[in-house]
Amino acid sequence: MRRASSTMRRLRRHVANSWAWAVVGAFLVFALFPVYWIVLIAFRPRDDIFQYPAALMPTNLSLDNIRFIWFGTETSEPIIGFLGNSMLISVISSLIALSLGVACAYALGRFRIGGGFLPMWILSQRFLPPIALVVPLYLMYRQFGLLDTYFGLVILYATFTIPIVVWLMMGYVESSPPELEEAAYIDGAGYWTAFTRIALPVLKPGLSVAAVFTFIFIWNEYVLAFQLAGDDVATITVYLPRLRSAVAELYGEIAAASLLSVIPAIVFAGVMQRFLVRGLAFGGLK
């Protein structure tokens, strides 16, 4: 959704061509319609949802679906617990991935540790689709008692997102001038101080991009969360499909839950974007 709207803005600036508008318009309808539909039926009373033919415009407003999801029922727990799990796991894993990843990217990008080989090797960790690792991971996790624990999911997600952070941040490290840290060494800073007090603040815009990436990756991850956890520790992605299988045809409720589950991700990306813009303003070194 964000992508589509920013594409539109850019195009408005450059192309004043009605054909382009028609194509973009069609694409937007295509991309945004499902989102619109989710919002529509999340607030629609049960009877209206199953009306045929379906009404494309808002009909009667109802908060039943939201209420069902928010307060839960005998068969379904309130959504807040799952949102909380997802939030906790996403934030902690992202923080771990970002702090280890940026340190690693700095070492690779600034001091050429590992030559040309190590960065590629790190990225190669992500060549395998996660599903390929599920069985060995399951066995390992069972052995170590990590199944269905916060700790298990956190180290899993941190490990999975570190390569992305490293690669993204390496680009930022390489394009930021080493003279800044050299000036700091001359001013009496050691490597650590130069890294934390000079390099990190300069890398902030990159860090906020990496934070958005990792947070959203983890927030949306389903396969591993479903296989390696899901009972005591269930994330929002595990919760959503459950609504479907528990009792048939809870479309309005699923729509309401989906709506509530994207809100934190959107808020997070929005906050990070503010950081990003401020960070870029710093960028003018010369």
Partner 1 sequence: MTALSLRGIRKSFGAVEVIKGIDLDIDSGEFVVFVGPSGCGKSTLLRIISGLEQATSGDTVFDEEVVNDHTPFERGVAMVFQSYALYPHMTVAENLGFPLKLAKADPQEIAAKVKAAADILQLGPLLDRKPDQLSGGQKQRVAMGRTIVRSPRIFLFDEPLSNLDADLRIEMRLEIEKLHKRLDATMIYVTHDQVEAMTLADRIVVLRDGSVEQMGPPLDLYENPVNTFVASFLGSPRINFLNVELLDSDASSCKLLLADGSHVTAPFSAGTASVGEKMKLGVRPEDLSASGGDFSIPFRMEIHERLGPTSYLYGRSGADSIVAEYRERGAVTPATLTTLGVNSAHAHLFDANGLSVRNRQERVS
For partner 1, the binding residues (CB under 8 A) are: 177, 179-180, 182-189, 193, 198, 201-202, 204, 281-286
The smaller minimum CB distance to partner 1, of residues 45 and 178, is found at 178
**DSSP, res 147:** T
For the bound state, the minimum distance from the C-beta of residue 183 to partner 1, rounded and expressed in Å, comes to 4
For the bound state, the minimum distance from the C-beta of residue 180 to partner 1, rounded and expressed in Å, comes to 5
Which amino acid belongs to residue 6?
S
Ramachandran angles phi, psi of 173, nearest 5°: -60, -45
For the bound state, the minimum distance from the C-beta of residue 109 to partner 1, rounded and expressed in Å, comes to 18
Break the chain down into helix, strand, coil percent, rounded to 5. Answer: 75, 0, 25
The crossing angle, in degrees rounded to 10, of helices 200-220 and 150-175 is 140
For the bound state, the minimum distance from the C-beta of residue 204 to partner 1, rounded and expressed in Å, comes to 8
Closest Cα partner for 251 from 59, 36, 49? 49
The smaller minimum CB distance to partner 1, of residues 170 and 202, is found at 202
The smaller minimum CB distance to partner 1, of residues 195 and 219, is found at 195
Contact 109, 91 (CB under 8 A): no
Burial 219-241 (b: 16+ CB within 10 A, else e): bbbeebbbbbbbeebbbbbbbbe
Closest Cα partner for 243 from 117, 73, 3? 73
Contact 216, 164 (CB under 8 A): no
* The residue to which tokens 């539109």 are assigned: 8
The crossing angle, in degrees rounded to 10, of helices 200-220 and 236-246 is 20
For the bound state, the minimum distance from the C-beta of residue 110 to partner 1, rounded and expressed in Å, comes to 13
For the bound state, the minimum distance from the C-beta of residue 275 to partner 1, rounded and expressed in Å, comes to 13
Q: How far apart are CA 55 and CA 8, in angstroms?
A: 28
Question: What are the C-alpha distances in Å from 43 to residues 40, 239, 243, 252, 264?
Answer: 6, 20, 17, 7, 19
For the bound state, the minimum distance from the C-beta of residue 197 to partner 1, rounded and expressed in Å, comes to 8
